Amino acid sequence: RKLSSLPAEILGITDRGTLAAGNFADIVVFDPATIRDNATFADPFHYPDGMRYVFVNGTAVVDDGDYTRALPGRAIRGPAFVAQAE
């Protein structure tokens, strides 16, 4: 909940954050024993280790640890973000 439905709820995004009929299928499967962020402030474009599967809008972006080069997503802005920007 802390990394899924709660942020979606705070941003007012009702169709993400939970696995439910009609919601977008954004799913991450990782091994907590091997997950590691390799990005730094100086070089932020390094992929993390330990990511097994990532699905964005139901499309595999990481498949058994391999990046598929699929780009099914887009940046979304919830009402809370838009209100802060104004």
Buried b or exposed e, range 63-78, using 16+ CB within 10 angstroms: eeeeeeeeeeeeeeeb
pTM, two decimals, is: 0.72
pLDDT at position 80 is 63
Q: What is the pLDDT of residues 6-48, one digit of tens each?
A: 988 988 888 889 999 999 888 999 989 999 999 999 999 888 9
3-state secondary structure the chain: CCCCHHHHHHHCCCCCCCCCCCCCCCEEEECCCCCECCCCCCCCCCCCECEEEEEECCEEEEECCEECCCCCCCCCCCHHHHHHHC
**Higher per-residue pLDDT: 84 or 13:** 13
Q: What is the pLDDT of residues 62-76, one digit of tens each?
A: 999 999 999 998 887
